[in-house]
Amino acid sequence: MTETLHIKGMSCGHCVKAVEKALKEIPGIHHVQVDLATGTATVETASALDRETVRRKIEKAGYELV
């Protein structure tokens, strides 16, 4: 499954790396691609994402899942 997440608060390459790292730590996510220009992250998963887990990881990294 592929899902696009909208993330608020990214402003630089470091932000992109931090979001990628946070998302890759979530079990079941196989691939992550973060786009700074659009403020999105595209993730590939084996099954449906637990949005609350994603939200906690993103917030812990210092950003907001919109």
Supply the pLDDT for residue 19. Answer: 98
Is the predicted pLDDT of residue 64 greater than 90, yes or no? yes
Percent of the chain past pLDDT 90, that is, above it, reads 94
Range 14-28 average pLDDT:
96
Give the chain's length. Answer: 66
**Banded model confidence at residue 46, pLDDT cuts 50, 70, 90:** confident
Range 52-62 average pLDDT:
96
Range 9-33 average pLDDT:
96
Range 1-5 average pLDDT:
95
Q: How many CA atoms lie less than 13 Å away from 54 in the CB half-sphere?
A: 19
